[in-house]
Amino acid sequence: MKISRILATGAVVALIGGSSAFAGASATAAPVPVINFVHADDFGVEASPYAADWFKGTATPATVVTDGVSGISLTGQILNGDTPTTDLTGLVDGAGFVVASGQAAFQVSLFANAGNGGFTTLRPVDFNTLDGSWVTSRNLVGDDGTTVVFPAGSTATLDEFEESLGTDYTILAYGAFANESAPATITSITWDGVTSRFTPASFATPAANPISLSDIRAKGLTVRVTGFAEGESVRAVYSQGQGGDVFGDPFIADADGSVTVTFLLPDLTIGTWDFGAFTTAGIGSTVSVAVVADGATIAPPATPVVGNASFTG
């Protein structure tokens, strides 16, 4: 099942500037990230009209999507019909495409001139990027509705496509493509302010909860955070209420997509604290842990907090 996580004020913490200070979401002008965790079972099948969600596009041989630590493994094409109707260049400028391995092409399908200009899919000439020239899959007709201005296989920049097409075009879907001979592992795709994240959802698990004040000060608290791509850089964080701090240098996710952090905090005080880790894109989670006086016994806090952090700077 797809899990949508949207940052709520006070739910998790956000890195401000380049400092070690954390604050609530309202303390930063950065936009709140919308991150959907999407997995292989969430992909539907292609239909007409396109679904406003992820589906497997028609391909020969058939599209195959499988889950993995660093994202989905793809051969064929995936598409999402939840798109605006105009402003192709602006949307691609703000898009994101993270490929962990292999060769994949971002793609945008569109109708030109209310359908009279033909249907085509645009893909970057260079796989694994959104830069440079793009290539057409079919003929594109100009704004006079009759002249073929870009035959199938033509390359041009997005600005050149828009100059010839004018404003009368409709974006039908966006997604990604990978050849059967070179499968790709795709970690995430960002489009129109929404990131689809294809790794497992993130969870933080503490080695002890509650933990005594003397133990966390002298021995530390070990927390394992999952849901990252292998080799992804993350920052460990701890907080109480709206404030908090970054702990140590960046950590690198292991082959199983996790980081293990031992929070050794000689100055920590008694109370309920959140411990976890996040990528700069806001992927990660925290868990609430009760730090108690030596000899005290209380029930541990409720379930771990899973969510996204907004990082700036």
Tell me, yes or no, whether 83 lies in a domain. yes
CATH code, 261: 2.60.40.1930
pLDDT greater than 70 at residue 294: yes
**Which helix (H) or strand (E) element contains residue 85?**
none
d(CA 3, CA 13): 20
Q: What is the DSSP letter of 218?
A: H
Average pLDDT over residues 109-138: 84
- Same domain, residue pair 67 and 215: no
pTM summary value? 0.81
- Same domain, residue pair 224 and 142: no
Six token digits for residue 258:
């996790």
- Same domain, residue pair 162 and 289: no
Tell me, yes or no, whether 56 lies in a domain. yes
Contact of 195 with 174, CB cutoff 8 Å? no
Q: How confident is the model at residue 224 (pLDDT cuts 50, 70, 90)?
A: very high
- Same domain, residue pair 155 and 221: no
- pLDDT digits 0-9 by tens, 255-291: 999 999 999 999 999 999 999 999 988 899 999 999 9
Give the model's pLDDT for residue 208: 95
Six token digits for residue 149:
């201005």
- Same domain, residue pair 251 and 152: no
Task: Please count the structural domains in the chain.
Answer: 2
Give the model's pLDDT for residue 70: 97
Tell me, yes or no, whether 79 lies in a domain. yes
Contact of 259 with 180, CB cutoff 8 Å? no
Six token digits for residue 255:
């082959």
pLDDT greater than 60 at residue 213: yes
pLDDT greater than 60 at residue 313: no
Tell me, yes or no, whether 18 lies in a domain. yes
Task: Give the end of a domain, one of 137, 169, 196.
Answer: 196
Tell me, yes or no, whether 227 lies in a domain. yes
Q: Strand (E) positions, 113-168? A: 119-124, 134-136, 140-141, 148-150, 155-156
d(CA 242, CA 9): 9
> Domain range spanning residue 167?
40-196
Tell me, yes or no, whether 220 lies in a domain. yes
Q: Tell me what the pLDDT averaged over the chain comes to.
A: 83
pLDDT greater than 80 at residue 151: yes
Give the model's pLDDT for residue 148: 84
What's the burial of 37, exposed, middle or buried (CB within 10 Å: 0-12/13-18/19+)? buried
- Same domain, residue pair 19 and 118: no
Give the model's pLDDT for residue 257: 96
- Same domain, residue pair 7 and 129: no
Give the model's pLDDT for residue 305: 53
- Same domain, residue pair 192 and 207: no
Pair type for strands 211-212 and 283-292: parallel
Tell me, yes or no, whether 313 lies in a domain. no
d(CA 180, CA 60): 9
- Same domain, residue pair 260 and 166: no
pLDDT greater than 60 at residue 84: yes
- Same domain, residue pair 150 and 27: no
Give the model's pLDDT for residue 118: 76
Average pLDDT over residues 47-65: 95
pLDDT greater than 90 at residue 142: no
- Same domain, residue pair 57 and 156: yes
Average pLDDT over residues 41-56: 96
d(CA 182, CA 188): 18
Task: Give the end of a domain, one of 139, 170, 196.
Answer: 196
